[in-house]
Amino acid sequence: MDGLQAERSSLLSHLISIALSGLVLMGTHGALALHGDTTHPDVVMADEPTAPPRSTLFLYRLCRSGSAVEVSWCEGYLLGLADILLAMGNSRIAGGICAAEFDATALHRIFSSWAEHHPERLSDDMAMSAQASFREVWPCQ
């Protein structure tokens, strides 16, 4: 690995560590068991009243919740992930996003729409699904 790639890899590792630390600090809000009608009416959800933690369904329900705390957690998570993916794309690290300009509301809308159009992916890891939704909008060439 040359010096530039080693520096990029170190930067990415540092950014991921910061993001994960923030998620741990905020984790108690995200660990809520979501019950009730917090889903979009066009999405067919599993029969289970709770979504597995870290699943796409779990994040989708947080984003679509009527609770300001849960929506804020969703948007904060998406914003942190998008920032890391943009840094990856700018550093030419595979899996990143490029030429992206966004705010929390736009990321929320993009992820929620993607989840509604991909019900087969609701059990996937939420980071993988958010990444897929963002890469559809801001792919790297």
Top pLDDT among 4 and 28 is at 4
b/e map 105-137, b = 16+ CB within 10 Å:
ebbbebbbebbeeebebbebebbebbbbbbbee
Which token pair is 43?
């999405």
The mean of the pLDDT values for the chain is 79
82: containing domain:
3-137
- At 52 the pLDDT is 85
> By C-alpha distance, which of 38, 61, 42 is closest to 51?
61
Q: How many CB atoms are located within 10 Å of the residue 62 CB?
A: 24
**Number of separate domains in the chain:** 1
pTM of the model: 0.68
List, in sequence order, every residue forming a beta bridge with 125; answer none if it has no partner.
55
- Output the pLDDT for position 6: 58
Q: What is the mean pLDDT of residues 102-107?
A: 97
Q: What is the pLDDT of residues 49-76, one digit of tens each?
A: 577 889 999 999 999 999 999 999 999 9
